[in-house]
Structure 1
Amino acid sequence: MVKLSRDKRAYETHRSKDNVVKVPSISSSGRSSVFATANSTSVAAQIGGTAKLPCIVRKFNNGVVSWIRKDVTPPTILTIGLGPYIADDRFMVEHARHLQNWDLVIKHVRPSDAGLYECQVSTHPATSIFIELRVTEASAEIIGAPDLHVRAGSTLRLVCTILHSTETPLYVFWYHDQRMINHDAGVKVTIDRSTSVLQLQDADTTHSGNYTCDPANAVPAYINVHVLNATEGNDS
């Protein structure tokens, strides 16, 4: 208990009397003899995704590495060493001894997670770096929306781009009206880090309707597809 109290006092060393967070100047290069990670590093993560805030510690002798949320009142201790300090299992420390990293991992990122975080080593005096987390909202966009006209018998090809994403989606579901069609006969779906392509061979009028591209952790996109018989005129 005595050690924890001493550590808590150390966490307050960068806060002024008027309750304003002071980010210390480490060096012109943003590095110190303690940290290999640059001070004031900025990290982006998307809503619903996973954020990883880096903190590589060169050496800290018998000190303890802790993470603190700094831009809240009062500052919130998140982790001490490898253990969580708050009752929120979204926060954890990823540590590999040979890499000397003490990264803070935040799962299921929320907009309210955006802000300033401190990685602190309880040396005497305590030393820290600050990491900014920016939270984005990923969204899908289908090329050609809102309406696409194709000729019957041709291949229907829909390209869905995922904007503002910081990680490859775990899945992209495609829907025709209300039914998921990823595994339908004649349908081929491919996906990479930021794009999913749906191809449907030999389109006919039954394939007309609303198509939805629904990636994990992103706002879905929609397009209305019109499959035209030869007598209905030219493609537009």
Structure 2
Amino acid sequence: MPIIVTDPPRADRATVDALAAYGVATVHEAQGRAGLLGSHLNPVQQGVRIAGNAVTVTVAPGDNTTIGVAVEQCGEGDVLVVAPTAPCDMGYFGDLLATSLQARGVRGLVIEAGVRDVADLNEMGFPVWAKTISAEGTAKGNLGDVNVPISIAGRIVRPGDVIVADDDGVVVVPRLRAADALAASKAREEKEAKARARYQAGEIALDVNNMRPLVERAGARYVDYEDWVKEQQA
């Protein structure tokens, strides 16, 4: 029997907004290289960076009814996260559903399936990360669940978790760890700023990242080209 959970707890909005500023790569690294969704989820448009609380949805293969049901559970600052219960590349989502979500203040969609009306979505400025683009429409009548833990692109996403998405992909931050992820992201950004200044001054990664001991432990030899040629000919 389908279940629709109402009003799950969400991460603090200020924390969510602050995570958006750091982006997917930084947040992923900062939380121990965890939470990155599969690389087959790609942005439909470029140059967009969002973060929001997950409203999770499971949908039947070839049926988008539950997305329409989920709209009612969405609010300002949310991101709709949709996973089919079996693989399906059909176009579950288009400009009409996007219009409805946008009117409720939803920040974007992450879906492990197809979307369509891409030109309209881009014109509207509604961000989407999807498995594929497909004009093939879906049927209606079979319901999944709303606001329960779901498996999507190799990760578990729970309602209220923080979704961060940009050109690099999508990463999930568990709701109860959002503040820790934010602090770690800030620390990582500050560390990278110092490293960037050293790179700009002409240093290279071998020294900035203290990699020379790694090269030495690997037993690597530095050999002049002419000597190397002679060795090959010997």
The TM-score by the shorter chain falls in which range? Answer: under 0.3
More strand by share: 1
TM-score by length of 2: 0.28
TM-score, normalised by the number of residues in structure 1: 0.28
Instruction: Between the two structures, name the one with larger relative contact order (CA 8 Å, sep ≥ 6).
Output: 2
Higher alpha-carbon Rg: 1
